[in-house]
Amino acid sequence: ASKFFEHFVHIAHAMDDMGGHTLWNAEDGFFYDVLYLPDRTRHPLKVRSMVGLIPLFAVETLEADIVEKLPGFQRRMRWFIDNNPELSEHIDTMTTPGGSLRRLLAITTRDRLQRVLQYLLDPEEFLSPYGIRALSQFHQAHPYKLTVHGIEHRVDYEPAESTTALFGGNSNWRGPIWFPVNYLLIESLQKFHHFYGETMRVDFPTGSGHQMNLWAVAAELSRRLTRIFLRDATGLRPVYGGTSLFQHDPHWRDLLLFYEYFHGDNGAGIGASHQTGWTALVAKLLQQSGA
């Protein structure tokens, strides 16, 4: 346990300080990949994608009652914190009403989390009526371009099927909604709420002035994902898009397919139509909503 704790903190710190360079862009308030070339030049890839949201997944609360049952771990953790003050920003602390000390391990500090959430919960960025897009809608009007060795590379917002032949042309992470990462985002928000509680509330959606705690945000994202499969006010299921047979035929309209991923704007199912593995996570979301 001590080794995992120390490795976590060191990795979180390394994302901030890699020879004076960082994956966090303080100006934009987002995490970006950095392309490191053989000539030792570094190029931040300023693409607002799921890559910049995944750091939110690394979060866990160390409860005092559990730590107290592990005296060896507790002793080494205290020594590590006392002797590595430069690493402590990735360990948030909170004292409970009973006087116990809770600790939060997270790659994102509190202020960074709030800045990333401004993008996550913005309908013109990641927030879709049906979940979280894998790439910000911002890039629809502002495609990212990078020229390396005279060759231009480009990332556009593509909410449906891929426009390239990469991965057989039937996989696209540049705009659609994917259940596995959406589920992990929801779980992470729940964990952050478990630590911060009502002390952290954010606009949902961004700029609306309508404040929610992070548990309520997670619940609303769950509802948007489950909405993919439910009939809307017109009696149609977003998952089946414009497929008339599945929408209207009495032999098909109540048989649901678990697609690989979903259109980033209208929720239509795309890719493999029997991806019952990760897309079946909708069952867990329904269970949580019922609870």
**Residues 119-133: pLDDT tens digits?**
999 999 999 999 999
pLDDT on residue 148 = 86
| Burial call 49-86: b when 16+ CB within 10 Å, e when fewer | bbbbbebbebbebbebeebeeeeebbebbeebbeeeee
Is pLDDT of 285 > 80? Answer: yes
User: What's the pLDDT band for 274 if we cut at 50, 70, 90?
Assistant: confident
pTM of the model: 0.94
Find, among 260, 47, 261, the residue nearest to 135 by Cα: 47
Among 104-118, 134-148, 161-175, the range scoring the smallest mean pLDDT is 161-175
User: What's the pLDDT band for 17 if we cut at 50, 70, 90?
Assistant: confident
Is pLDDT of 276 > 90? Answer: no
